[in-house]
């Protein structure tokens, strides 16, 4: 088994990536492929060079990724010598060189890269991999401390650390590593099973053991094979606006080994892909002026974020109460006629005391605004905190100047604005509190999914039942599921029968009847009977865990609209500061007297009202809620970009077998010719089909078993995709397939023409059987349409979608099925490798295409389509081959997914429109554009309230998606009919 990650160049969009994925999927031996615009990850038994050549033939560039230790480089000149040699080599894409390590990518084979380094007079030292047992590490901070020590130690290539175990790959002696950990106050010792085999640092293979010829791969810091695309999630704090998002993303992307990152302002998380060490990422975020912590699992992340949200909410509510308590009476004093001018000594003393109180308020309640603004200034950036600090600080400084030296200012300018500083702090902080409370509801769907997994399981050992923690369950254990209990892990039923509620996973409201041999999924609920089942998939391998991971990744991803907002946000705050300065200058030089007062009011109001918070929250809030809502309906969305593209789909192409139909074909009739009887015909056909994986093969084999016929050995089996199969059974040459196969072997089909017409009219697939070159029989296999497919297709057509059926079946059968389903446009007789071409042809007509298939045979077509939608039970192949996966096997998931996509995109646009229009109108009004017509200026206090209201509006609007329900009247009727 080979796992290969190839860096890509010249891949500009996801359509390019989809073309690469389709080409790689077709390579012999490739089992799974994951491609984005930056890299391709493949698994299987294939030659790496074949993958590189395939990508190159498509017009793109691909290569290997190297992470090698270096020895003998003593100074900067040595580093430059190696760097120049690698940069000048045509087969090296990128090279980052230090005195001790090389991080590079290219197409140059590693042995040749080593030779190149050694020819320069340097060397690549050998590695040893150590497994250590640890004790004394009681929390995540202890783990992080050990990780930080290992990251700083020279000669350590990669490592993974938990509370009880460490894997370290290094050129240092084992004793040195143990001493390093023990110096930190912990205990380390060699693990009982040690894997300290020395290996070449450059090679991706290690010395083979006596029992396994598969080479061990070096581990990355996250404990995965080097070069694999590991996802790490971090919980962030200190972020306040979209400018912060941009800063954090830049900091993370600067860490070596990071392939991509997506920072979600709504959830305050960062999802990082690559093989970078977590300690380096944490340090990069800290250096940028923010805080981060590694999220070990979804439950920990959820608990930590809930605690953070609750803490932030309580703190903001407390601060808002204090600030409004001070600012409210002051503002009421001014509104109801109280003097806010400094005209006497008594006024100086009284307002001076108010100034001190306000200063204390700025230093306590508003401290974080000024601290964050200072951090941003040190990192040469500006954020929302910068605007608030400048606005409130300017109001306080001007007011203090009036109090201390009123005689320097004309009488009209001796107005104080202490109430503005207090009220702005109070209103903005209150807005943040309400925003934090609303944010905590956005991931409700994901939290409900995590709540599905029970903390314990009942295992049956030697006839005795005992309850154990879920972490103690191992594959192969026999578990007991009592009525009303949640299924703890995926498995297969051994004994019993019951109805299982799978609605939270699949969106299907009707409980499924499960009996011995059926599959159970973690998180589903047993309604009635007691079941005995075998644990087969545990932990992260369960279907529930995979769904949670997909939802988490999708919620952290960004559509094109979000990237547009991020681009604007990066220049938004500096632009606002420039506008505020220009506004101040215009009012100072051209405004009426007292110009200094007008200058202060307008500049402060511009700074306060122009908040980038709403802009930064607009898309991530919608994506988070929309993806979670889709998961509740059994629709798994791979990334937010797919969500945006799906909203524009106007054509849906449906595969027939297993998509439009039940996927459980059955033999409905048979005709015999040339002296053969039904028993002989079925024996020969089923004996040959037992070597086939085609869905129709199972129907023929099952029919033979139902007749109690014995299957004979077959030889020289050969499958021809799109035609049929051939081989030898009982000394006879047997052909089994469609008309194309028979024509290829010149078999006369004229005796079977009437039966062929009858089968096609019934919507059955005619399968011809020829023995020794003579037609022996015709088998009619029918795969009935799913009970809800017709109503689902009607829903799609009502939505204005063009529905097309694409199948390899003969036109007569395909048209019969299409007529039953209500589909007018049929493309039949297409070979598996031609489906992608048909999809491309339809796209060339200007259509935005969604391809719906089973995710295995239809993988190239799914990749070619604008949106690939995989049907089925969420298998690995289906999830990997499509952007959307329908967990429940129902076509109603397609209109559900498309309607949810449209609703989410509409919500995003509403939020962005609100944020843009708010700032487009608010800033000119704050600058005083209405003053010539009204004679009044916008108060900074009103600006502060409007700024807080904008963020609350965006968050509230995004949460409306939680109430969205797809138009499913026909679906509900179909379900009710089925239930009855």
Average pLDDT over the chain reads 78
The residue among 642, 640, 644 whose CA lies nearest residue 558 is: 640
**257, burial (CB in 10 Å: exposed 0-12, middle 13-18, buried 19+):** buried
The residue among 118, 179, 580, 247 whose CA lies nearest residue 393 is: 580
pLDDT confidence band for 695 (50 / 70 / 90): low
Q: What is the dihedral of CA 581, 586, 592, 595, to 10 degrees?
A: 30
**37, burial (CB in 10 Å: exposed 0-12, middle 13-18, buried 19+):** middle
In this structure, what are the phi and psi dihedrals at residue 367, rounded to the nearest 5 degrees? Answer: -60, -45
Q: Would the pLDDT of 20 be above 50? A: yes
Asked if residue 276 lies in contact with residue 257, where contact means CB atoms within 8 angstroms, the answer is yes
SS3 for 808?
coil
The percent of residues in the chain predicted with pLDDT above 90, rounded, is 9
- Strands of 802-806's sheet in order across: 635-637, 884-886, 867-870, 849-853, 651-655, 802-806, 825-827
- Of 74 and 370, the one with more pLDDT: 370
pLDDT confidence band for 359 (50 / 70 / 90): very high
Rounded alpha-carbon distances, angstroms, from residue 155 to 96, 104, 129: 16, 17, 12
User: pLDDT digit string (tens) for 147-173?
Assistant: 878 877 777 777 888 777 888 878 777
> Which residues, other chains included, contact 116 with Cβ-Cβ below 8 Å and sequence gap of 6+?
85, 86, 89, 108
Q: Stretch 705-734: mean pLDDT, rounded? A: 86
Q: Which two tokens stand for residue 401?
A: 């100047």
pLDDT reported for residue 653: 92
pLDDT confidence band for 402 (50 / 70 / 90): confident
> Which residues, other chains included, contact 657 with Cβ-Cβ below 8 Å and sequence gap of 6+?
663, 665, 695, 696, 783, 807, 809, 854
User: pLDDT digit string (tens) for 635-669?
Assistant: 878 777 788 888 889 999 998 877 888 777 888 88
User: pLDDT digit string (tens) for 418-430?
Assistant: 887 888 788 778 7
How many of the other CB atoms lie within 10 Å of CB of 564? 13
Q: Give the burial string for 941-967 (b: 16+ CB within 10 Å, else e).
A: bbbbbbbbebbbbbbebbbebeebebe
pLDDT reported for residue 879: 53
Element spanning 201, H or E:
none
Element spanning 715, H or E:
strand 714-720
pLDDT reported for residue 323: 87
pLDDT confidence band for 973 (50 / 70 / 90): very low
How far is C-alpha 357 from the geometric centre of its chain's CA atoms? Answer: 48
- Of 438 and 952, the one with more pLDDT: 952
Q: Stretch 96-123: mean pLDDT, rounded? A: 81
Active site positions, annotated: 655
Distance CA 711, CA 705 (A): 8
Q: Would the pLDDT of 464 be above 80? A: yes
Q: Which two tokens stand for residue 730?
A: 């009982």
Let me know how long the chain is: 980
Distance CA 30, CA 119 (A): 36
SS3 for 190?
strand
Asked if residue 392 lies in contact with residue 366, where contact means CB atoms within 8 angstroms, the answer is yes
The single residue listed with the structure tokens 């605004």 is 369
Q: Would the pLDDT of 596 be above 70? A: yes
The single residue listed with the structure tokens 């009858």 is 758
Q: Stretch 310-334: mean pLDDT, rounded? A: 84
Q: Would the pLDDT of 23 be above 90? A: no
Q: Stretch 950-968: mean pLDDT, rounded? A: 80
Distance in angstroms between the alpha carbons of the first and the last residue of the chain: 50
Asked if residue 777 lies in contact with residue 756, where contact means CB atoms within 8 angstroms, the answer is no
pLDDT reported for residue 801: 92
Q: Stretch 872-898: mean pLDDT, rounded? A: 71
- Of 873 and 161, the one with more pLDDT: 161
pLDDT reported for residue 650: 92
Q: Stretch 60-84: mean pLDDT, rounded? A: 79
- Of 970 and 872, the one with more pLDDT: 872
Q: Which two tokens stand for residue 403?
A: 């109090």
pLDDT confidence band for 239 (50 / 70 / 90): confident
Cis peptide before 93 (omega within 30 of 0): no
The single residue listed with the structure tokens 């009012």 is 587
pLDDT reported for residue 228: 43
How far is C-alpha 933 from the geometric centre of its chain's CA atoms? Answer: 51
- Of 825 and 721, the one with more pLDDT: 825
Q: Stretch 214-218: mean pLDDT, rounded? A: 32
């Amino acid at each position: 088994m080979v796992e290969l990650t190839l860096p890509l160049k010249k891949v500009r969009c996801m359509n390019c990536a989809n073309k690469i994925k389709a080409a790689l999927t077709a390579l012999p031996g490739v089992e799974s492929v994951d491609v984005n615009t930056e890299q391709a990850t493949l698994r299987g038994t294939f030659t790496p060079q074949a993958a590189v050549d395939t990508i190159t033939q498509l017009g793109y560039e691909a290569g290997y990724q190297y992470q090698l230790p270096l020895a003998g480089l003593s100074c900067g000149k040595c580093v430059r010598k190696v760097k120049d040699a690698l940069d000048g080599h045509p087969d090296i894409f990128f090279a980052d060189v230090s005195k001790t390590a090389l991080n590079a990518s290219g197409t140059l084979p590693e042995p040749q890269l080593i030779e190149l380094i050694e020819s320069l007079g340097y060397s690549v030292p050998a590695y040893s991999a150590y497994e250590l047992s640890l004790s004394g590490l009681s929390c995540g901070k202890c783990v992080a401390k050990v990780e930080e020590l290992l990251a700083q130690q020279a000669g350590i290539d990669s490592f993974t650390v938990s509370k009880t175990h460490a894997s370290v790959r290094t050129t240092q002696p084992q004793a040195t590593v143990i001493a390093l950990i023990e110096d930190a106050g912990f205990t380390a010792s060699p693990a009982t099973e040690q894997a300290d085999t020395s290996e070449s640092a450059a090679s991706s293979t290690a010395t083979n053991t006596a029992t396994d010829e598969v080479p061990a791969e070096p581990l990355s810091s996250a404990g995965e094979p080097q070069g694999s695309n590991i996802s790490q999630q971090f919980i962030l704090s200190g972020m306040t606006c979209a400018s912060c998002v941009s800063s954090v993303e830049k900091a993370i992307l600067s860490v070596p080994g990071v392939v991509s990152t997506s920072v979600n302002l709504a959830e305050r998380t960062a999802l990082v892909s690559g093989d970078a060490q977590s300690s380096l990422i944490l340090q990069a975020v800290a250096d940028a002026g923010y805080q981060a912590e590694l999220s070990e699992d979804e439950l920990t992340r959820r608990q930590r974020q809930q605690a953070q949200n609750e803490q932030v909410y309580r703190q903001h509510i407390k601060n808002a109460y204090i600030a409004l308590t001070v600012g409210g009476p002051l503002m009421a004093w001014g509104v109801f006629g109280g003097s806010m001018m400094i005209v006497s000594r008594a006024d100086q003393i009284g307002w001076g005391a108010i100034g001190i109180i306000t200063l204390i308020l700025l230093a306590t309640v508003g401290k974080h605004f000024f601290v964050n603004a200072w951090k941003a200034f040190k990192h040469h950036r500006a954020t929302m905190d910068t605007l608030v600090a400048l606005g409130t600080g300017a109001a306080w400084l001007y007011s203090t100047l009036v109090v201390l030296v009123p005689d320097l200012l004309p009488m009209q300018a001796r107005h104080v604005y202490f109430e503005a500083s207090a009220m702005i702090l109070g209103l903005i902080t209150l807005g943040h509190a309400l925003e934090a409370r609303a944010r905590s509801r956005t991931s409700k769907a994901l939290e409900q999914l995590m709540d599905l997994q029970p903390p314990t399981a009942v295992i049956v050992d030697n006839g005795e039942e005992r309850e154990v923690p879920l972490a103690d369950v191992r594959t192969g254990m026999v578990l007991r599921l009592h009525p009303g209990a949640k299924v703890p892990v995926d498995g297969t039923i051994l004994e019993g029968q019951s109805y299982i509620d799978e609605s939270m996973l699949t969106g299907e409201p009707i409980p499924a009847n499960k009996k011995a041999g059926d599959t159970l999924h973690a998180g589903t609920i047993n309604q009635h009977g007691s079941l005995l089942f075998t644990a087969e998939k545990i932990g992260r391998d369960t279907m529930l865990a995979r769904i949670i991971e997909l939802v988490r990744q999708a919620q952290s991803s960004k559509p094109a609209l979000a990237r547009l907002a991020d681009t604007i946000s990066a220049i938004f705050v500096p632009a606002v500061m420039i506008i505020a300065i220009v506004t101040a200058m215009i009012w100072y030089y051209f405004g009426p007297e007292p110009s200094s007062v007008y200058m202060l009011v307008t500049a402060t109001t511009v700074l306060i009202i122009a908040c980038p918070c709403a802009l930064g929250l607009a898309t991530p809030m919608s994506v988070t809620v929309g993806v979670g809502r889709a998961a509740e309906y059994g629709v798994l969305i791979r990334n937010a970009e797919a969500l945006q593209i799906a909203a524009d789909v106007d054509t849906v192409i449906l595969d027939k077998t297993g998509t439009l139909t039940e996927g459980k074909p059955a033999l409905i009739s048979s005709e015999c010719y040339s002296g053969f009887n039904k028993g002989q015909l079925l024996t020969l056909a089923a004996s040959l089909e037992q070597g086939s994986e085609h869905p129709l093969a199972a129907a023929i084999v099952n029919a033979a078993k139902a007749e109690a016929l014995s299957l004979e050995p077959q030889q020289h089996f050969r499958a021809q995709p799109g035609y049929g199969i051939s081989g030898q059974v009982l000394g006879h040459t047997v052909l089994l397939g469609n008309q194309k196969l028979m024509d290829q072997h010149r078999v006369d089909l004229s005796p079977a023409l009437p039966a062929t017409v009858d089968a096609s009219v019934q919507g059955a697939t005619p399968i011809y059987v020829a023995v020794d070159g003579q037609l022996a029989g015709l088998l009619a296999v029918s795969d009935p349409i799913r009970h809800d497919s017709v109503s689902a297709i009607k829903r799609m057509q009502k939505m204005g979608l063009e529905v097309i059926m694409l199948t390899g079946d003969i036109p007569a059968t395909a048209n019969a099925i299409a007529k039953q389903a209500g589909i007018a446009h049929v493309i039949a007789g297409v070979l598996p490798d031609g489906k992608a071409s048909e999809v491309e042809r339809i796209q060339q007509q200007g259509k935005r295409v969604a391809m719906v298939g089973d995710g295995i045979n239809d993988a190239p077509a799914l990749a070619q389509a604008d949106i690939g939608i995989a049907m089925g039970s969420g298998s690995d192949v289906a999830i990997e081959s499509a952007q959307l996966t329908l967990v429940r096997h129902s076509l109603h998931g397609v209109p559900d997914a498309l309607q949810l996509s449209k609703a989410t995109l509409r919500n995003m646009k509403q939020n962005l429109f609100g944020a843009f229009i708010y700032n487009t109108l608010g800033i000119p009004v704050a600058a005083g554009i209405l003053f010539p017509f009204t004679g009044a200026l916008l108060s900074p206090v009103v600006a502060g309230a409007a700024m807080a209201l904008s963020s609350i509006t965006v968050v509230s609007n995004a949460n409306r998606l939680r109430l969205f329900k797809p138009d499913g009247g026909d679906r509900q009727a179909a379900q009710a009919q089925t239930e009855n």
